[in-house]
Each structure stands twice: as C-alpha cells, then as structure tokens.
Structure 1
Amino acid sequence: MHKFLPLTAVVTGSLFLLASCGTANSANNQSSTTSNSASSSKSKPIHTHSSSVTTARNSSQQANSPSSTTSSSQTNHQVVANNSNTPTISHQSVALSEAQQEQITAQFLAWAGQRARIGGMAVTDYYMDHGTAGFGDFFVATPDGLVQVQNQDKPGPSHFKIHAIGGVTFYTPLDGNLGIQKDLKGPFAAGYSAVARPDKPISKYLLGDNGTVYELQKNGDQVGLSTGLGEFNDDGSYTSDNSVAPEDQFSISGDTAAQQELQKLLIPYRK
C-alpha cells in the first residue's frame, strides 16, 4: 500500500488519548485546521459513487476504547453548511478524487498533529498496511457496514457504500518525539513496535467519505499495521471460509472534535 495507494499520552502518569482530548478540548479546537497487495507501502483507495452494501462478519468488538461508550445517536456526524450557519446532518458519502482524498487527509493530519502535541503523543498517517496478500479489495468493518480501504476492483468501489479517505494513528512514542511523524522506523513486520510504547494504547482513526471518523483502539503490543484489515477473495467474493475477515471492528469514534473536523473538511465537496 502507498500512502494509503494509486493503496492516542502520558500526563502525570496517565494516558491522554485523542478521544478524551476531543471531549475536554473540543471548544478550543473546533476552529483548528487541519498496495499493491504484494508490497508493504501505504495505500490510497480509489473512490467512485457506490450503490450497495456488503454485510460485515466481525470476530470481535473494539474493547477499552474511550469511544466505546458513545451512544448510537452519535453514529453519523456528517455536517453540511446552510445559510443560517447551523450544521445539518448528512448521511451521504462524497465522491472524491485521489488528489482530494490526499488533501483532506493532509489537512486532518495537520489538525491531529496539534492535538497530539497537546496530549504528549505522536501521530502518523501510516494507519494501515499489509504484506503479501491476494487480489481482493481490502476493507474494515464498522457499525455502518464495510468500508473499502484499498481498491483492487474485486469487487470494486461500487460494492461499498463507504470508502476510506485516509486515516491517522495516535501512539505514545518511544523516542519522545511528539506531533506528526512522517515515517515509521523499521520494516512492515515490526509495525508500530518500532516507535510506540507497547504498554500504552494505540488508536487508529479512519476517515470515511460519509463524514464519519471510525476508531480502533488497543494496547500497543496488540496493534500492527494490518490490525482491523480484511480482504475479499481473489474473485471479489466474500465468504467466511475463504475471505480474510478482520479480527477487530472499528467503532464510531467518540472524539467529537475529530468528527467535527472531518465534517468541516468535507463541506467544500458536498453539493
């Protein structure tokens, strides 16, 4: 995967996760701006208008996340502008070009970098990757259905109602370097273990083109670059006996500030 392709901090001994930061500081941050299958480079999905939803098979739910107590009413946070400047909810995905996806991800990363520094954390847009794999599309499972993460046209973008714009990963750095980190050190097999404290949680944020931020949080020693990632069969089918199903499901993030930031970034692309 390429930068996902053409494919959370210690404050007086306690972890400061982005989600909790978002709750405590959202009033101060709402104006903040922000694979190929045989490789281990980050990938960027190709999006088109989607028409159908594939049902997810999930092995387990996200545990011990500050977002896990989020009520179902927070499922969708998509916001569009109106004349009264009062946000209204939109549930539709936005068709974005690869360049637009990269711009939105870069803006969100810039915003996340500031949040990470405040929390004494590091953040990278290297949020998902895989090693040698098959030819099926890569995806993650969410309460809203499957989200396509890397398109390999099997089954293709039109089979997903939601597509990943990009994502970021928050972690407590081993080297003490805070804020945005451009590259992870070490090979794919090492993953975050080369840069993150294994005794502290790692949070992956996935940006959906429906305007929702999805989150997967686990202890550092339980998170790899491919954690949460699933894959369709080589022929584009999805069956429990053949497909690579994700072991973890992403939840809808309880980080209100992050949800609002993504919504704001998508406003120019909504018609």
Structure 2
Amino acid sequence: MLDGPILKQAPTRPISRANNATTLGKEKTEVSVDKNRLDRWKATGVIGLRDYNLRAIPDEVWACGTSARVIELSNNAIPVVPAKIGCLSSLQKLFLSANDILDNSINWEALVSLKFLTVLSLDQNHLTTLPPALGLFTSLRQFHVANNKLSSLPNEIGLLTKLEVLKVNNNRISTMPTCIGDCIGLIEVDVSSNLLSELPETFGNLHNLKSLCLSNNGLKSLPSTLFKKCLQLTTLDLHNTEITMDVLRQTEGWESFDERRRLKHQKQLDFRVVNSGAFDEGADKS
C-alpha cells in the first residue's frame, strides 16, 4: 500500500536477473529437490524457488499437489506456465514476476481452475495482452502485471468484484475500460507510467479506493466524481501529469479530500516536524 506523498517515481525495472550465477555460486537451470525439501514443501504449503535461474517449473512442484498454497517463482527464466498448474487446486498465491512469459505461453484455462487463487503476480514479463478469461478469476484480490507491454485491459476485468489491488504500471495502456468501476472492492490502483490521457467517470464508483497512482501519464484532468464519491481516498500521485492545482481546486470534493490527506500525513509524521501540509503529490502549483 502506498503511504504518504509520492515524491519520486520508482525505477521502471527494479528486478534484475543479471549476475544470478555469481549470486548463487553457479548458474542453475534445474533444481535438485531432495526428499526433505519436498516434504517441507508439502508440510508448509510454501514453495520458494525465487532467483534460481530456472528455465522450467520443476516436476517436484507438481508432486506437491493439493498441499501447495504459495509458490514463489519470481526472478527466473521460466517461459511457460503449463496446464499442470491446474493440479495445484489449493493454490492461493502465485508469484511469477521477472520471467520470460509470453502471451501464448500461459495456460489460462488451467489458472482459472484454481478457485482459491487470491494473488497473481506477473510483473516484468513480455505480455502484450490479457485474455477475456481474466474475468473468471473471481477470487482474485491482488493482480500485479506491471512492467509488461500491455496496451489495454479486457472489459472482463470488471467481473473481479473482490479485487483489492491492481498494479498495471509501466505498460502502454492508453485507455482504461469503463467497467473498471465494477471492481468495487479496489483499494489500491497503480496505473502510473502508461499512455493515459483521461480516466473514465466510473472511477467514482470505487468507494473503497484509498490509493491512486497516476504519475507519468498525459492526464489533464480527473474524473469529476473522484473526490466526490471516493471518500476513502487519501493518497494520490500526480507527478509528471498535466493536472494543475487550479484543476484540482475546481474539482468538486477537493476540499474534503485535501483534509483527509492532511490528517493522514499528520498522523504519519512526528508532530514536531509537520510542515504546512501543502499538497505535494505532483500537481503543478500554477
């Protein structure tokens, strides 16, 4: 969750696979899983294989079957998410960030069969599109697909009413679907570093929204309903947009939002060093 005013843009590519061989002592394309480790995976339900330079998901993972609850496979070189993923029917969290996954190398049908999946992370891969099947992930609470090459989001995303965190920053998205307003559970949305020139008015339907990151887009205004209806909103990042303070002051509900934001910051900062609390989330002062 974002916290307080955003003063700097995070690095576009924070995860690096460079020098993994040095870090690990030698390059690994396969993992030798002994019986003790496999038994531990089955006992805990947690499979940790981050930073192993894997080129495929090890067969021992499938051997965990219904015991697997969390799989961490980030920062490898995995190109394929096979149909076998469907055998992990109790899986709740799947982390596949910083791999070599392409649009046609994910077996979405198998992923959809994971009815308990609440967290899916596909950051920093090579995705250019997401399928309509995304709307079938009805248990999903967090969806991370930042640092890809997406140009849009499917309309079916509006079916994800339990979704709380949506991170699609650092893509090539030029428009947000109006059905985003149907994702009524959203608390945190990050669409920074895209190609957006406007946001749909339906953002005002996100009554639980607390954090909205819009930096590094071509936005000149906000939805007129945003401040008026999103009464939980306290964090707003507008750095490197064309939205000015004059625009914000003329947006209905600005005063109440600004008061909430100030109160939040005052709680976070020691009272002895609290400054004027002026808005500093990136809006031009002119």
Please say whether Structure 1 and Structure 2 have the same fold, judged by a TM-score greater than 0.5: no
Higher strand share: 1
Q: Over alpha carbons, which structure has the higher Rg?
A: 2
Per the normalisation by structure 1, the TM-score is 0.22
Q: RCO higher in 1 or 2 (8 Å CA, sep ≥ 6)?
A: 1
Structure with greater helix share of residues: 2
